[in-house]
Amino acid sequence: MNEAQQSKPVVGRRKSDSVTLHDVAQRAGVHVMTVSNALKGTGRMTQTTRETICRIAAELNYKPNRAARALVTGRTGAVAVVTGPVSEHFYAHVVHLLERELAASQTQMIFMCSRPPEREMEFLIQSGMVDGLIAIDAFSELRALSSTPGAILPCVYAGVLRPELAPSLSVDSIAVDLSGAAQEAVQSLLDLGCERVAYLVSNEGMAHAEDVRARTFRAAMERAGRPLEIINVDIGTDTSRRDLTRARLVEYLQKHPAPDGLLCQNDEMAISAYRALRDVGLRVPADVRLIGCDGLADLDFFDPPIATIVQPVEQMCALAWQFLQKRLAQPEVPLQRAVLNAHLQKRASLTP
Per residue in 292-347, pLDDT (tens digit) is 999 999 999 999 999 999 999 999 999 999 999 999 999 999 999 999 999 999 99
Residue 291: closest CA among 206, 177, 187: 187
Give the CA angle between residues 317, 311, 111 to the nearest 5°: 40
Q: If you average pLDDT over residues 125-154, what whole number do you get?
A: 71
First to last CA, the chain: 58
Q: Alpha-carbon distance 349 to 273, whole Å?
A: 12
Q: If you average pLDDT over residues 24-44, what whole number do you get?
A: 82
| Residue ranges matching CATH 3.40.50.2300 in the chain | 75-177+313-342, 179-310
For the chain, how many residues are written? 352
Sheet holding 289-294, edge to edge: 230-232, 197-201, 261-264, 289-294, 307-310, 343-345
pLDDT of residue 43 exceeding 50, the answer is: yes
CB 290 within 8 A of CB 262: yes
For residue 179, how many other CB atoms are within 10 A of its CB? 16
Q: Going along the chain, which residue ranges are E strands?
A: 78-82, 108-111, 132-136, 155-159, 172-177, 197-201, 230-232, 261-264, 289-294, 307-310, 337-341, 343-345
pLDDT of residue 88 exceeding 60, the answer is: yes
Q: What is the pLDDT of residue 271?
A: 97
pLDDT of residue 127 exceeding 90, the answer is: no
- Average predicted confidence (pLDDT) for the chain: 85
Ranking 18-22, 58-62, 136-140 by mean pLDDT, the lowest is 136-140
Q: Alpha-carbon distance 58 to 76, whole Å?
A: 21
CATH number of 3-63: 1.10.260.40
Q: Return phi, psi of residue 13, to 5°.
A: -105, 120
Q: If you average pLDDT over residues 104-121, what whole number do you get?
A: 73
Q: Alpha-carbon distance 251 to 34, whole Å?
A: 64
CB 202 within 8 A of CB 237: yes
pLDDT band at 161 (very low <50, low <70, confident <90, very high): confident
pLDDT of residue 75 exceeding 90, the answer is: no
pTM for the structure as a whole: 0.77
For 145, 192, 248, 304, the CA distances from 273, given in Å and listed in that order, are: 37, 20, 10, 13
Give the CA angle between residues 25, 52, 30 to the nearest 5°: 25
Q: If you average pLDDT over residues 42-54, what whole number do you get?
A: 83
Q: What is the pLDDT of residue 8?
A: 47
| Residue ranges matching CATH 1.10.260.40 in the chain | 3-63
CATH number of 179-310: 3.40.50.2300
166-209 confidence digits (pLDDT tens) = 556 678 999 999 999 999 999 999 999 999 999 999 998 888 87
222-265 confidence digits (pLDDT tens) = 999 999 999 999 998 889 999 999 999 999 999 999 999 999 99
Residue 256: closest CA among 209, 308, 196, 216: 196
What would the DSSP string read from start to end of 24-85? Answer: HHHHHTS-HHHHHHHHHT-SS--HHHHHHHHHHHHHTT----HHHHHHHHS--SEEEEE-S-
113-125 confidence digits (pLDDT tens) = 655 556 666 666 6
Sign of the torsion angle spanned by Cα atoms 221, 303, 272, 112: negative
For domain 75-177+313-342, give the CATH superfamily: Response regulator (3.40.50.2300)
Sign of the torsion angle spanned by Cα atoms 142, 218, 258, 348: negative
Q: Which residue has the higher pLDDT, 22 or 6?
A: 22
Peptide bond between residue 305 and the one before it cis (omega within 30 degrees of 0): no
